[in-house]
């Protein structure tokens, strides 16, 4: 039983506000748990719902001082910016179309932003937001939480240090089954807004989970996309956004050891209509010297296949685990960490950046979290998929 690798918060918690995440929401609770796990944040204010009554009730449930429960994000940004003990950071966990105006309000108020993905519901908003962040002095953290898993960090490090050789192939699949039927007609809250193009954006499965898949591919491989070809479907009668995406990827050529430039290829499959799949995100990456496989539902394991040798099972905090993985790991191998811990790693990386920022400094080099740039690329990815699909799966580039 080795000691835990990850240190807990020494300093006082960072004061956090939340936009969205009231009763009936899913991801708000996840953000709150993630913010608590390492003791780095304290939730002290909220605009938890666009329905004032629900906002108040939700705040009460969460032990937020009623006077810091706001009816709108605008009111919250303004009021908190004026307080001495005002929030230092805000978590935005609303439907996608609210991300932009909310983030704008807090950035303009000088408050750091932690925002759920995808960045925005339109590419135009994403571009504006990226510009806003650049101008502001505040931090912007996008919760592509799957990049927080220790074994994803391990995979990224193994690619970066050349263990796999030159990368040739990159396969990410993300099948789910919860939208196999027309759940949105039943009034189920999650299904309703996620299949509404106004709230969700032009992509359905593409935006909701395809962006995760794309981000994970990019995060682990470091490869840059050249073009993609996408075939999108809405299999459920009457559904207004895609619920299944087949995507072929072509990456830009990388220099390999022998000096020749070779482009890698890839595939993404994202689906919400594949019965038997709960949240089966899976990454496979292959180079000329070896391959890696990782599954989100068994996140503590990473398969490593050095070409010509036996496959090895690398475990979180076990033999073979690299620093990049162990530094975001809390407990010994064999004691499974899960989704919430991975999510918490994004929050704790954010905390390190925020604490550094308090001193006017940058965080140490190891700190890694998805930024507005990743978010912009994600929205451009959705936009490209939709453009490609409309043009019969034509190869298109990201419009960034």
| Interface of this chain with a second copy, residues 260 to 279, rule: CB under 8 A | 260, 262, 265-267, 269, 271, 273-279
Q: Should residue 237 be labelled a site residue for a second copy when binding is judged by CB under 8 A?
A: yes
Q: Which of 85, 224, 257, 297 binds a second copy (CB under 8 A)?
A: 297
Site for a second copy in 315-334 (CB under 8 A): 315, 318-320, 330-334
**Residue 222 binds to a second copy (criterion: CB under 8 A):** no
Nearer to a second copy, 41 or 219 (CB): 41
- Report in angstroms how near the CB of residue 330 gets to a second copy at its nearest: 7
CB of 50 to a second copy, least distance (A): 17
Subset of 45-104 contacting a second copy (CB under 8 A) = 60-63
**How far apart, in whole angstroms, are the C-alpha atoms of residue 99 and residue 78?**
17
**Should residue 365 be labelled a site residue for a second copy when binding is judged by CB under 8 A?**
no
Contact 264/167 with Cβ under 8 angstroms? Answer: yes
Least distance to a second copy from the beta carbon of 377, Å? 21
Exactly one of 313, 361, 366, 391 binds a second copy (CB under 8 A); that residue is 313
Please answer whether residues 157 and 322 qualify as being in contact, where contact means their C-beta atoms are separated by less than 8 angstroms. Answer: yes
Site for a second copy in 103-132 (CB under 8 A): none
How far are the Cα atoms of 108, 136, 326 from residue 129, in angstroms, in the given order?
Answer: 11, 10, 33
Binding range to a second copy, per CB under 8 A, among 2-10, 89-97, 132-140, 356-364: 2-10
359 scored as a contact of a second copy (CB under 8 A): no
The CB-of-39 to a second copy minimum distance in angstroms stands at 6
Provide DSSP, 350-387: HHHHHHHHHTT-PPPTT-----HHHHHHHHHHHHHHHH
In whole angstroms, give the CA distance from residue 366 to residue 167: 23
Question: Which residue's CB is nearer to a second copy, number 78 or number 295?
Answer: 295
Q: Any contact of residue 194 with a second copy (CB under 8 A)? A: yes
* Nearest to 114, CA basis, from 134, 91, 146, 93: 91
The pair of structure tokens assigned to 350 is 């954010």
Structure tokens at 291: 């391959």
Under the binding rule (CB under 8 A), the answer on residue 390 touching a second copy is no
Strand partners, 225: 251
Q: Is residue 12 a contact point for a second copy (CB under 8 A)? A: yes
- Where are the extended beta strands (E) located within 196-271? 225-233, 244-255, 261-271
By CB under 8 A, tell whether 169 contacts a second copy.
yes
Nearer to a second copy, 11 or 255 (CB): 11
The correct pick among 1, 186, 187, 259 for binding a second copy (CB under 8 A) is 1
Q: 241 or 273, CB closer to a second copy? A: 273
Which residues have a Cβ under 8 Å from the Cβ of 109 and sit 6 or more positions away?
77, 78, 80, 81
DSSP 175: E
Among 15, 99, 171, 239, binds a second copy (CB under 8 A): 171
Identify which of 20, 389, 24 has the alpha carbon closest to the alpha carbon of residue 241. Answer: 389
Instruction: Tell me which stretch binds a second copy (CB under 8 A): 80-88, 133-141, 151-159, 259-267.
Output: 259-267
Which residues, other chains included, contact 118 with Cβ-Cβ below 8 Å and sequence gap of 6+?
96, 99, 201, 203, 207, 208, 211, 375, 378, 379, 382
Kindly tell me which residue out of 14, 19, 37, 217 binds a second copy, with binding defined by CB under 8 A.
37
SS3 category, 289: coil
226 binds a second copy (CB under 8 A): no
Tokens of 135: 């101008």
How many residues in the shown chain lie near a second copy by CB under 8 A? 105
Query: Binding segment for a second copy among 10-18, 101-109, 113-121, 128-136 (CB under 8 A)?
Result: 10-18
């Amino acid at each position: 039983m080795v000691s835990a690798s990850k240190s807990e918060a020494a300093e006082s918690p960072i004061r956090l506000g939340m936009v969205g995440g009231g009763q009936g929401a899913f991801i708000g609770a996840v953000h709150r748990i993630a913010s608590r796990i390492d003791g780095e944040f304290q939730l002290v204010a909220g605009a938890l719902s666009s329905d004032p009554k629900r906002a108040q009730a939700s705040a009460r449930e969460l032990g937020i001082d009623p006077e810091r429960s706001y009816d709108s994000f605008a009111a919250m940004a303004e009021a908190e910016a004026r307080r001495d003990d005002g929030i230092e950071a805000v978590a935005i966990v609303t439907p996608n179309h609210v991300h932009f105006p909310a983030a704008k309000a807090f950035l303009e108020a000088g408050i750091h932003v932690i925002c759920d993905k995808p960045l925005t519901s339109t590419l135009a908003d994403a571009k504006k937001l990226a510009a806003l962040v650049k101008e502001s002095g505040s931090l912007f953290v996008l919760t592509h939480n799957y990049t927080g898993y220790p074994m994803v960090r391990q995979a990224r490090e193994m690619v970066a240090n050349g263990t796999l050789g030159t990368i040739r192939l990159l396969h990410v699949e993300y099948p789910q089954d919860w939208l196999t039927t027309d759940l949105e007609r039943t009034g189920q809250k999650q299904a309703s807004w996620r299949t509404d193009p106004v709230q969700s954006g032009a992509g359905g499965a593409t935006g909701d989970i395809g962006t995760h898949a794309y981000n994970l591919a990019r995060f682990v491989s470091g490869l840059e996309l050249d073009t993609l070809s996408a075939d999108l479907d809405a299999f459920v009668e009457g559904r207004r956004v895609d619920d299944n995406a087949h995507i072929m990827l072509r990456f830009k050529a990388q220099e390999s050891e022998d000096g020749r430039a070779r482009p890698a290829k890839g595939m993404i499959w994202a689906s919400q209509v594949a019965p038997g799949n709960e949240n089966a995100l899976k990454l496979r990456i292959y180079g000329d010297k070896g391959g890696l496989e990782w599954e989100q539902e068994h996140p503590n394991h990473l398969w490593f296949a050095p070409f010509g040798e036996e496959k090895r099972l690398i475990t979180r905090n076990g033999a073979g685990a690299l620093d990049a993985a162990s530094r975001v790991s809390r407990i010994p191998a064999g004691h499974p960490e899960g989704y919430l811990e991975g999510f918490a790693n994004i929050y704790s990386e954010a905390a390190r950046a925020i604490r550094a920022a308090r001193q006017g400094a940058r965080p140490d080099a190891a700190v890694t979290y998805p930024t507005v740039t990743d978010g912009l690329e994600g929205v451009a990815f959705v936009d490209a998929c939709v453009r490609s699909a409309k043009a019969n799966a034509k190869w298109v580039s990201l419009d960034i």
